[in-house]
Structures are given as structure tokens and as C-alpha cells.
Amino acid sequence: MDPFFIPRGCAVVGASRDPAKPGHQVLRNLRAVGHLGPVYPVNPRERALEGWACYPDLVSIPGPLDLVVLCLPATTIPSVLEDVRCRRRDRQDVRAIITTAGGYAETGTPEGRTRQAELEAFCRQQQVLHLGPNCIGVIDTHNRMDTTFLLGTAHQPGGISFLSQSGAFGAWILQSWSSRPRPTGFNRFVSLGNMVGVDLVQAMTYLGQDEHTRVIGMYLEGYPDPRKLLLTAARVAQTKPVVVLKVGVTPAGRQAACSHTGALAGEDALYDGAFRQYGLTRVKTVEELLDTLQAFDTLPSPSGNRVFLMTHAGGPGVYATDALAALPEIEPARVTGATRQALVDILPPFSAVCRPEGHLDMTASGTAMQHAMALELLLGDAGVDAVILLDLPTLFLSAEALADHLLEAYGRASSRQPPPKPFLPCLMAGKWVAEGRRRLEEAGIPTFETPDRAARAFANLLRHRTLRQAGRRALTLPFPAAGGEAGRRQTLTEPEVYRMIAAEAIPIAPWRATGNPAEASVAATELGLPVALKLVSPDLPHKSEAGAVILNLAQADDIPAAWERAVTAARAYRPGLRISGGLVQRMARGQEFIVGGLRDPQFGPVIMVGAGGLLAEYVRDAAWRLAPVDEDMAMAMIGELKAAPLLEGVRGGPPADRAALARLVAAVSRRLASIPDLVELDLNPVMVGPAGAGCQVVDALAVRLSPE
């Protein structure tokens, strides 16, 4: 992808003198960024633009030409592509094209799809890299390249690189960075548009190898092969954090994403689990995205999670304390008695020191010098891993003086006890603190508008260590079998499911298939009472709601009457029901969970664990991953559940066998991954017994594809 960022020559086709035209702004941005290479405006009606000589067409350009930026309507682009074909044939140059125009597949029209297919075929035939269409181009602050038509971008070099499937969203990010008191530094920006040619995987790989990129951000709507994208991003995230804002989290959002990019966004729950599994940091808001990227780029890596909060504002301090407490990754710092006494000695007399732990309110009478002395003491305490400061300007505490004193204190503390610890100042009050924030950020210390934003950014830094380990494990797992061919969906009966999953030694409560009530009575005695009796029917996937399950039968003599009762209820529920027999199963006790999965059209096989029983679909407490997973991954999934505390023991009862549940999840995931035509599997409920007693499956449903 070097031709996009370091071209030997760049032609802007559609260059214009009109400020309202994209071709004008591209030239202005190339001039503003200080682009060092040759620039060739193409406009047959002009002799020069922005100080560069104009050419009537691409063929007339004399020098080597690596990059062509097309700032033209889609309908006029085919004629320009003929000039590209000529240069490829005669001069073997033009290695890359950026197409900014819309009117392609994102329109959803036959004309747009045809136009995009023709563009793709041309670039493939001519072996030309292509970015877009429907994009705004690229920026590289280190190599001084900007092919976008955005207004006012501040080309401040930094370590952030950003990929965006939406040009408008990318513009939002760039203009947010440019609007800060001190513009946020970044390295490279890539607007991908419809991804004809260069796509997310290729761009992610390229940025992962870029020496100036320290962290990668991504705006994601969808990708046709999400496993490929995840594997690529996981490899990159082993050395550089990857921060993702995934949209399309609601049905309405998914529909909007599809109409905008022509890509499926997929199920949000699957993406959420996959990001955790492959070591990517997911953020939920634009503010969290901006803060987290800046934190990764500028803050030192934290050595621990103990945060001390210092302020001179009571109410905002309480607000910040709540924000910190809501993040399970963060713990309040506990300082030594000596540090506590030193703080009492230097601060105003009514200051609240370590009430509660990890909190300092020096009251509104705290001076800039006292802030600095307190910060230096806290950073020097071994029990403090990071400090969050929040302050408001007053007539006797200017943001500028505060920033200067804080910088001096931070420098002394960091030199006295390296490595430096993260310091996250929040100077609240908009324009009144802009100069103070600018001074801090000029010195490399990121500032935040609110304490909860600082807390979330710091929590994401802490999560990265765990996420990177998870991604390393995910990269070692085998790739699942390819999906089966299309066919008729066939629902398996419970005995058929049990036989299918038996290959993985999945624990199933002892059971017996029977053909009539007499056989069921014998089976109940042999299995051991009490038992459950279930009807077996290919027409009845959900037996309980049809009355086809009778529980807690304590006597074998009760079986015939229970059989008849179940048959009567089931046929009333579904007239004409086919009944192929019954199933007798020994009753099991324990906490109810569900373990299952499906073969998703995008992700392939995925595995789920959640709160089980009759209310599973209503509670919707589940954790997802891509299959297969190992037992450590399964344990992490279980830990994400709201129902996880049930496994620790309920009302004084013994803890449940979490390890056995994790083994079951891993085993089921292997089975899902190895059967290409298995499209759905539910084991619900799974009864998890006391620690050491294991768990047992007591009901099952599966759907396979059968040939038409």
C-alpha cells in the first residue's frame, strides 16, 4: 500500500479552482500538509492550480505516476480508466487509484452494482491497487500526504492510525482530533468506502507493520469474512492495540449498516464475544474511542489497577468515585500511613484525605502548589498505580498555573521513581481550561473532559493485557471445518442428538430410549428412580410447552399413566403429531445452564453458554465465542454471565462445579466445529452439580442439513 502514502507522483483528476469542488480541497490539503512529491492537477481548462502545473489528461503527465485520485462523478470515470490502461501499457506506472465518488454498490441499485463490478474487474485486470469507491482517501502525517477533501484537518504527527468503513465517520474523528485544545496527533488515516480492492484485512496488515503506528482504531460496520478479519487483527494486536467501534448493534442499526456499505453487520452478541476472544478492545461510544486511542498512544503502560482520585471539587469527586467503582478492572489505591500523614500536613485543614480509600478532596481552597505536592506524593507511593485528577477553574486557581505546577511535579516524580505512572488529568469547564489542557498535552500528558471518560480509557489500558493473552490463545486453536452445502433443515430427536454428541464424551444424565410404556417402566427401574419421561417426536422440538415431559416419577408403576397423560397433552397441542417412542432419563439436580451453538452464515460455528432452563430465551444472559474454544476460554465465558454467582453457592449451599461446565462448553464447541452440516445445537438445561460432582445434560435439540 505504499503508493497511497509515498507515491513517486500523484495526479488529482477533477482538480478545480472552485472551493466547493472536492478536487479543489484535495489540492489545498496536499499543499497544507506540505506534500514533498510531485503533484499533477488534471483539468483541461486550467494551466495551473495551487502552484502546480495542470495537465489535460493522465496520458500527458511526463513524470512517473504512482497514484491517481479520482474526484469525478461515477459516470465520467470509465473514460479516465482508459487513460490508466494506456499508462499501464506504455509506462508501467499508475500503481494505485483512489475513487472518491459514490453511486456504486452502496446505492443498492442494479446500475450501482454493475458499475462497481466493472471497476473491480478493471483494477484486477490491470493489477492496480484501488481504494474506495465512496471514500474520502488517505492521510499520512509523517510522510506528508493528504488526499481527502476535508476542511481544517490538523496534521499533527502521532502514533494513532485509523481505519474507517465510513467516510463521514472518519471525517467526524479527524475533525474531533483537530478541534482539541492541542490537536490529537495521529499517523495514518484510511477511508475504505466500498472496499473494491483494498479492504480491512489488507489495510490492517499494512498498518500492523508500520513503524510509526502504535495503536490502530477501526470503525466497523461489517465484513464478509469476519473470521479472517479477526485472525488478522488478533495477530496485529499482539504488538499494537486494536480498538474497535462496531456499529449495527440493533436490528435497525444492522439494516442501516447494510444499506450504507452493502455489508452485513452480523449479530452484535457474536461480534462482542469474538472481540474478547481475539484480543481486540471494543468501545461503545465515539468519546470512548477517542479517549482510548489517545491513552494507548500517550500514556505509559500501567503496572497495576490501583487508582487514586484527587480533586478540589466535592460533588464531581463523588461522581468520579461512582464512575471508578462501576469498572471492575479498577481498584481504589491504598497509600501508606506516611503518605497519608504527609498529605494531611501539606493540604488545607478541612481536606478529606483517604475518606474513602483512594480519594482526596482538598476542598476549593487547595492551591496549585498544593495540587502539585499532593500529586508528587501520590505518584511516589508504591500502592498507587495511576492518578486521576479532576478540577474546575476558580478565580484563585487558574488552569494555566495548575497545569504548569502539575507538569513540574509529574516530571520530578517520574525521574525519581521510573518508569512513569499514568496520570490522567480532567480539567472540566470547556473553554475556561483550554489553555491549561493545551500545556499538559504539549508535554505529552493526555487530558479528559470528564472523570468517567478518563476512567474508561484507563480501564481499557488495563484490559489490553488480558485481551492480548486471550488473542494469543485464540490464534493457536484449529480452524473449524467448512460449512456444509445448502440442504433441508432436519430437526433431530433427543436420542439422535445424544448419539451425535457422544463422540466428545459429553456428560449426559443416564437415559434409555423406549418404544412403549412397559419398556419405559423397566428402563426406569434399571436407571434408578426418580426419572423423567419424555415423548420422542420429530414434530416436537420443544417438548415441555406441549406437556410431553413428566418429571420426578418416583415409582415404575407410575410410568404407564404418565405416558398416556403426555400423549394426550401433546396431541392436543399439535394434532396429527407423530410419536416414535419415549425417553426415560434419571433425574439430575444442580444449577441450570444452557450450552449450545449454531453455524452462523458469517462466523461459521459459534458456541454459547448462559443461564438455562425454561426462562433461557427471556433472561438472555449468555456469552458467545467462535468455536472451537478451550477450557480457559470457556471459564472466561462463564465469568461474564450475570448468573455466574450462582456457581459460587446459593444461600449457604456448596459451590457448583464451574470447571465441569467449562469442560462441557469446550467439548461442545469442538463438536460444533467438526460437523459441517450441524447448524444448531441446544443443550438445555445442563444441570451443574456441586464442585467435583460434574454436570449433566438433561435435554437436547439439534438441527442438521440433509440433502434435498
Domain-terminating residue out of 568, 586, 604: 586
pTM of the entire predicted model? 0.92
Question: Do 75 and 143 lie in a common domain?
Answer: yes
Residue whose grid cell is 505516476: 65
Tell me whether residue 109 is in a domain: yes
Tell me whether residue 32 is in a domain: yes
Question: Do 318 and 257 lie in a common domain?
Answer: no
- Report pLDDT for 253: 43
Q: Are 277 and 436 in contact (CB under 8 A)?
A: no
Question: Do 565 and 636 lie in a common domain?
Answer: no
SS3 216: strand
Tell me whether residue 191 is in a domain: yes
- Encode pLDDT of 293-343 as tens digits: 999 999 999 999 999 999 999 999 999 999 999 999 999 999 999 999 999
- Domain count across the chain: 4
Question: Do 567 and 630 lie in a common domain?
Answer: no
Question: Do 122 and 136 lie in a common domain?
Answer: yes
Q: What is the dihedral of CA 230, 232, 233, 239, to 10 degrees?
A: 140
pLDDT value at 264 more than 50: no
- Encode pLDDT of 340-360 as tens digits: 999 999 999 999 999 999 999
The lowest-confidence range among 162-171, 204-213, 374-383, 426-435 is 426-435
Question: Do 253 and 344 lie in a common domain?
Answer: no
Question: Do 117 and 265 lie in a common domain?
Answer: yes
Task: Report the alpha-carbon distance of residue 458 to residue 288 in Å, rounded.
Answer: 10
Percent of the chain with pLDDT over 90: 84
Question: Do 359 and 285 lie in a common domain?
Answer: no
Domain-terminating residue out of 586, 612, 639: 586
Domain membership of residue 618 as a residue range: 591-706
Q: Which residues contact 218 (CB under 8 A, 6 or more apart)?
A: 162, 163, 164, 200, 204, 233, 242, 243, 244, 245
SS3 691: coil
Question: Do 58 and 173 lie in a common domain?
Answer: yes
- Encode pLDDT of 61-94 as tens digits: 998 999 999 999 999 999 999 999 999 999 999 9
Question: Do 615 and 555 lie in a common domain?
Answer: no
- Encode pLDDT of 587-614 as tens digits: 999 999 999 988 888 888 999 999 988 7
**CATH number for the domain including 184?**
3.40.50.261
Task: Report the alpha-carbon distance of residue 99 to residue 172 in Å, rounded.
Answer: 20
Tell me whether residue 499 is in a domain: no
Question: Do 523 and 570 lie in a common domain?
Answer: yes
Question: Do 549 and 607 lie in a common domain?
Answer: no
Name the β-bridge partners of 96: 67, 129
Q: Is the peptide bond before 44 cis (omega within 30 degrees of 0)?
A: no
SS3 111: helix
**CATH number for the domain including 564?**
3.30.1490.20
Tell me whether residue 349 is in a domain: yes
Tell me whether residue 485 is in a domain: no
Count how many residues are written for the chain: 708
Nearest to 387 by CA among 415, 367, 409, 416: 409
Domain-terminating residue out of 295, 315, 346: 295
